[in-house]
Amino acid sequence: MTETFLDHIHFQPDYEILARRLHLRSGSSDLEDFAEFFAEMVSIGRPKAFYKVAFIEANDSSSIVIDGIRFDSRVLCVNLADVHRVFVYLATCGKELAERRANEMDILRQFWADAVMEAALKAAMSELQKDMTARYQVSKTASMNPGSLTDWPIAQQKPFFELLGAAANRTGVRLTESMLMVPAKSTTGLYFETDRDFVNCQLCPRRTCPNRRAGYDPDLYDSRYKHP
């Protein structure tokens, strides 16, 4: 079975950690309101994930073909130069939380909803990684995401959704004409097995990103990815 859909994902984020992250102080009326709102969101939250195995058919160092779909990215080509199999994925907080957020008129609660939705997306990604590792016995992996780098722009989301295929529709995620995903707290990408450390952040100079996982390396592109 090369396609896997995960919808029975345990979702119970840490209330205390989330409250501190939102700067909610003990004894405040906002904290009491958040506790009630948090419980409601968790009760309806249904994060989901989908991934499948795909195979590289061609790689000419500037473009790559995966299961018949072409992508143009020098970084992707170099990272997958010695790779034959990848795991393409889609993970989301779920439409249930997104719809609740869309129906919320209070700005503060909308902010809280975003935080809970981010936690749901993290839960989906965690379950995806756990399932993939166990099912396919993969060890060290790295990932890339369309739209995360100038070298692999957001416009490549369209062919990426073609690569995911119709089965990914079970997640409830759709791609808009502007290449944004709905629900917004969703992510796409591919995992690949590698012995080399790689994180998108190493090639991204953006300083204000709240989700940065590695420092920017201004020399990495020229040393590893620049055309000879």
Structural domain contains residue 42: no
Res 195 pLDDT > 80: yes
> Which structure tokens are listed for 62?
């500037």
Structural domain contains residue 101: no
Structural domain contains residue 35: no
Structural domain contains residue 215: yes
The average pLDDT across 52-69 equals: 96
Structural domain contains residue 73: yes
Determine the pLDDT at residue 216: 82
| Residue at token pair 């295929």 | 165
> What band does 222 get if pLDDT is binned at 50, 70 and 90?
confident
Determine the pLDDT at residue 1: 56
Determine the pLDDT at residue 218: 85
> What band does 57 get if pLDDT is binned at 50, 70 and 90?
very high
CATH number of the domain enclosing 86:
3.10.196.10
Structural domain contains residue 53: yes
Q: Report the chain's mean pLDDT, rounded to a whole number.
A: 93
Phi/psi for 206 (5° steps) reads: -60, 125
Long-range contacts of the stretch 33-40 (C-beta < 8 A, 24+): 33/109, 34/112, 37/109, 37/112, 37/113, 38/112, 38/116, 40/100
Structural domain contains residue 154: yes
Cα angle, residue 10 at apex, residues 168 and 109 outer, rounded to 5°: 90
The boundaries of the domain holding residue 135 are: 3-7+48-93+122-225
pLDDT single digits (tens) 92-139 = 999 999 999 999 999 999 999 999 999 999 999 999 999 999 999 998
Res 74 pLDDT > 90: yes
Determine the pLDDT at residue 203: 82
Structural domain contains residue 114: no
pTM for the structure as a whole: 0.92
> Which structure tokens are listed for 18?
């989330």
Q: For residue 8, which amino acid is it?
A: H
Q: What is the dihedral of CA 84, 58, 75, 164, to 10 degrees?
A: -70
Res 223 pLDDT > 90: no
Report how many domains make up the chain: 1
